[in-house]
Structure 1
Amino acid sequence: MLVSYFVKVFFSTIELTAMMVLSLSMFRFQFLYYLHKISGIALLMSLISFYFRDINELSDFAIMPVITTEIILVMIVYRLPIFYSMLVCIPGFLAVTIIEAIVFLTGSKLHIYNEELIRTSATSLAILQIASTVITLLFIYLLRRRKIGFLFKVQNLASRRALKGYNFILSAVLVISLVLVQIELMSINSDSVNNLLSIVMAGIFLIGIAAAYKHNKKIIVDKYERPVKDELHRLLRDENR
């Protein structure tokens, strides 16, 4: 029994570490120098999840304490406003949840495991988490290799502006996605996994990410690229006079 608990915490920590690195990579944060702290946060998140799922048998309520812990500790480590920390942590959490759901559904179709095995077998859960971690690492590699990611101005995500205009819409998308993750978890725990729910959750997440990326790209152009072009055009006009 003790070995089973150790296996659960160990592989959960690895998966959560990959999840946090994915979150930070999506927002172009450096993580190598903070890897020991990230691993420590992931371990704490894993222990909290283990406490709710295995000790208190409150699996349906494990998500919120885990994600809250991540948001607060990332805020402290990177000295971010609370909304910025939410913006960094939640997309990575949702992305890995969707990856894990896809891996789970694929494994179920291939009869590798099912809901009961995931709940009762540490080995089956470890296989699921290893597969999810490998896919997450591939996404991290692509993001870092191609230098893809968001670049928000911290002052625009401070408390005074956090829930205004576009940020309010983005917050709504994140909250809705978290609610769907909670429902998805409850469906797994009640042996009633809904494939349509997973597709809807993935769809909302991808639409939200695409809209946020487009908006963020516009902000970067307006802030950095357009002033340079305008100044270049002004200099060319002055030379032609």
Structure 2
Amino acid sequence: MRDISAAKRHQANSDAFNARKNAVLEILSHDLNGSFALVQQIADFLRQELPAAAGARVPELLSVLERTSRRSRRMIRELVEVEFLTSANTDLKRDRVDVGAVLRPPLEELQRCHGLLGQRFTYALPAKPVYALLDVNKMTQVLTNLLSNTLKFTPDGGQVSVAVEAAPGGVRLQVRDTDVGIPADRQPVLFERFTPARRRGLRGEETTGLGLALCKTIVEWHHGTIGVVSAEGQGSTFTVEIPGADA
């Protein structure tokens, strides 16, 4: 006989710590980062649209707000992405969900935000429920990262669309755009950590080279696949496929 009560207490404490850490990371990555993103975009929009009266400090203050929001988003993104990518035992909280139903709210919010900023963003959801076992927060992060990456390289007036549909054995999520495209020699390393394929966005947005690697990690945690088809000057299509769950 061996007393394992101490080991069980240690494991319980470890599980509780990891649960709290993951909850904090999810709040940072989803709620706080999203708020900073909206503040940044609105500040940029107002700075460009408001007439600059002589001696007015509003444009300068809006620029400060935009830069501060951008720096805050970058710090949050780096913290969250590095932590998720280095945590081999990050637990998924997967539930059987109707994928279209759970992705509708974030897609509606994204469409509303980008519509206010004059960007053409559309989405399509399946007419009938399509079920999968998802960690909704983490899969929403995949969607947000893919759209953030796409919009960085889509010129003003370009088109970005998301389609969620049933696929053989599961569900398919596609993000299409009319961006500048990805050079063929960069595509094989696109999903690597700190990828050499990283580059600044069309408006000077910085990147850590971790966003798409994080998407790949989360998708593989769901036993799914992610890939891209792209040609320079013709846009890109990112495709995620996740196994389905019977209705």
The alignment's TM-score, normalised by the length of structure 1, stands at 0.28
Higher strand share: 2
Higher helix share: 1
The alignment's TM-score, normalised by the length of structure 2, stands at 0.28
